Amino acid sequence: MKTPIGQVFTPTEWAEWLINKWHIFDAWMDGAEICDPTAGQGAFIIALLNIARNHQIPLTPKHLSRLTLIEIDPSLIDNFKSFVKQDFGIDFPPDQLFCKDIIMHSHDKKYDILIGNPPWVNFSDLPTAYKTELKPYFIQEGLVQDTQKLLLGSSRTDIAALVIKVVLGKLLKEKGQGYFYLPTSLFFGDGAHSGFRDYQANKRGFSIDTVYEFTNTEVFEGIQKSYCCGKIQIDSQQTFPIPYFREMGENWDEHIASPLKYPNDPWRIVKNTEELNSTDMFDIHLTPDQKPRQGVNTCGANNVFIFDDKPSHLPDEYLYPLTTKEIWRQLTGTPHKWILLPYHQETGKPLDWNSISKHDTLMNYLQDHKEVLQARKGTLLKASMNRIGWWVLLGVGPYAFAPYKIIWEAYGRKHFNPIVVSDIDGQVWQANQAMHAYIPCWDENEAHQVRTALENPEISKLLRQLNGSGKCNWAQPGKIKKILNMKNAL
Ligand SMILES: C[S@@+](CC[C@H](N)C(=O)[O-])C[C@H]1O[C@@H](n2cnc3c(N)ncnc32)[C@H](O)[C@@H]1O
């Protein structure tokens, strides 16, 4: 295997913690067959051996015959073998060590219990050749409907979702259980993980039984994703609500989890069923043109398109004020940044080269950065560049030039604070990529009405229940769409 895929190993103490939480050691002693399907250097199996040693339980060949490791990277299996030999004086049975890709290769045996920590990597960050090989499996497991979807919104789908579905469906005996450390995005991601939440693995139903979400403890050092651990039951139908524990200081604060509306929706976390049933409906009327949107995306070329001061050498008609945190903090209407959009305001379409060449300064400026702009990556962007030209951006259309925007901070916040923005000297404000989201409006009164309706404190409350506080998906357009969809189909 050339590129390591998600090699973040579980510290032994946290492998032991998970084993103790769900009495997995006792199950092993009582005869359960246990497998770590993405075993790395074997942290979970070593933790089981450790517990036996601490209890002074001699390990018999029978005990060992009920432990299996599967891992794609042969060097990690070698590390495991040497460690177990050195630390426990055990020659681990070689026929229980499998070096294979558990997604793509078959496996004959089935187990009572799966434990571990699957790789957590967004589909878009996987090596290109591996992505191509994995696509059919993402589709087969219902994680995306087609390859096109994988290229578009669902590229944030985590390989963890695929690995979990594959191993539950392929490796568990009837009514077996899985216990894993997992990224919480499987339960709270809007579009990308709704396919995980069909609770089906290889035509077998599975249900999430209990979840523990870490909020303070760094189980995995330096990992930015938010994570949890959970018990999953195969051959079982998912019902809600389920117990959901959130780390609070030294304790685990008990909550319940239930999907927002439809079974495959992201989960809400609330204290009790009364709270679950008390949500108001939101009476906000939006047309299909007013779909909530993310801001403009330069696709890695901020230094070409975005300026701290309005550049005097470029034509005013293509320069737009760009929202920054100051407009919420200081309530100031003064732009702190400007963005260049070589687009027709009336249609939202990119300028063609002929139109660009009518403005010498614009043409020279873009030409000077042609190489950098052409080298930008991304399937969607590439398709757009091939169709139109290397000067395009993403997230620009007629909506970007609507005279009013109800705009809010969508990323990493704890308060939902939509405001109405219009223009500076006729140039409308633009939202900045995933930081800001907005609803376009073509009528000022309507913009203020929608803003007032969005200020309903129930929306903030619901966003917090959807577990986005302080996270990257705090109030992203998909989530706001879902919330508004509670009454109005967009
Ligand atoms: C997050 S690590 C966890 C390892 C171990 N379970 C632990 O907790 O320390 C995930 C492991 O999965 C392995 N892996 C990635 N893709 C795999 C695949 N398709 N089949 C088997 N193993 C895989 C990686 O090499 C890595 O060692």
Which residues, listed in sequence order, are joined to residue 70 by a DSSP beta bridge?
98
**Is a pLDDT exceeding 60 seen at residue 231?**
yes
113 within ligand 1 shell (Cβ under 6 A): no
Q: Confidence class of residue 489 from pLDDT cuts 50, 70 and 90? A: very low
What is the C-alpha to C-alpha distance for residues 21 and 40, in angstroms, rounded to an integer?
21
What is the C-alpha to C-alpha distance for residues 410 and 265, in angstroms, rounded to an integer?
19
Q: For ligand 1, pick from 10, 46, 70, 71 the residue to mutate: most ligand atoms within 8 Å of CB.
A: 71
The model's pLDDT over 71-128, given as tens digits with 9 standing for 90+, comes to: 999 999 999 999 999 999 999 999 999 999 999 999 999 999 999 999 999 888 899 8
Q: Confidence class of residue 486 from pLDDT cuts 50, 70 and 90? A: low
Instruction: From the CA of 8, give the closest atom in ligand 1.
Output: 1
The model's pLDDT over 385-417, given as tens digits with 9 standing for 90+, comes to: 999 999 999 999 999 999 999 999 999 899 999
Q: What separation in Å is there between the alpha carbon of 297 and the centre of ligand 1?
A: 33
* pLDDT score, position 487: 46
* pLDDT score, position 151: 60
The DSSP annotation for 145-174 comes to: SSHHHHHTGGGG-BHHHHHHHHHHHHHEEE
The domains of the chain, with CATH numbers, are: 12-277 (3.40.50.150), 288-484 (no CATH)
DSSP state letter for 343 = B
Report yes or no: 269 and 244 within 8 Å, Cβ to Cβ: yes
Of 42-56, 142-156, 219-233, 384-398, where does mean pLDDT reach its minimum? 142-156
**Closest residue to atom 26 of ligand 1, CA basis:** 7
Which residues, listed in sequence order, are joined to residue 207 by a DSSP beta bridge?
233
* pLDDT score, position 285: 83
* pLDDT score, position 281: 62
Determine the average pLDDT of the residues in 213-241: 94
Determine the average pLDDT of the residues in 332-346: 94
What is the C-alpha to C-alpha distance for residues 369 and 309, in angstroms, rounded to an integer?
19
* pLDDT score, position 490: 33
Q: What separation in Å is there between the alpha carbon of 11 and the centre of ligand 1?
A: 14
43 within ligand 1 shell (Cβ under 6 A): yes
10 within ligand 1 shell (Cβ under 6 A): yes
Report yes or no: 439 and 292 within 8 Å, Cβ to Cβ: yes
Q: Confidence class of residue 150 from pLDDT cuts 50, 70 and 90? A: low
**Closest residue to atom 9 of ligand 1, CA basis:** 9
326-to-322, 333, 337 alpha-carbon distances in Å: 11, 9, 10
**Closest residue to atom 16 of ligand 1, CA basis:** 5
* pLDDT score, position 215: 93
Which H or E element spans position 451?
helix 444-454
* pLDDT score, position 434: 84
103 within ligand 1 shell (Cβ under 6 A): yes
* pLDDT score, position 192: 76
* pLDDT score, position 118: 97
* pLDDT score, position 275: 86
**Is a pLDDT exceeding 70 seen at residue 154?**
no
* pLDDT score, position 469: 87
* pLDDT score, position 225: 86
The model's pLDDT over 124-140, given as tens digits with 9 standing for 90+, comes to: 889 989 988 999 999 99
**Closest residue to atom 6 of ligand 1, CA basis:** 39
By CB atoms closer than 10 A (0-12, 13-18, 19+), residue 139 is middle
The model's pLDDT over 426-438, given as tens digits with 9 standing for 90+, comes to: 999 999 998 999 9
Return the higher-pLDDT residue of 398 and 380: 398
Gyration radius from the chain CA atoms: 26
117 within ligand 1 shell (Cβ under 6 A): yes
* pLDDT score, position 56: 96
What is the C-alpha to C-alpha distance for residues 11 and 8, in angstroms, rounded to an integer?
9
Instruction: From the CA of 181, give the closest atom in ligand 1.
Output: 8
Determine the average pLDDT of the residues in 177-197: 92
Residue 39 DSSP SS3: coil
Report yes or no: 5 and 72 within 8 Å, Cβ to Cβ: yes
Return the higher-pLDDT residue of 1 and 94: 94
Of 210-214, 234-238, 470-474, where does mean pLDDT reach its minimum? 470-474
- Mean residue pLDDT of the chain comes to 93
Of 146-160, 205-219, 367-381, where does mean pLDDT reach its minimum? 146-160
Q: What separation in Å is there between the alpha carbon of 391 and the centre of ligand 1?
A: 40
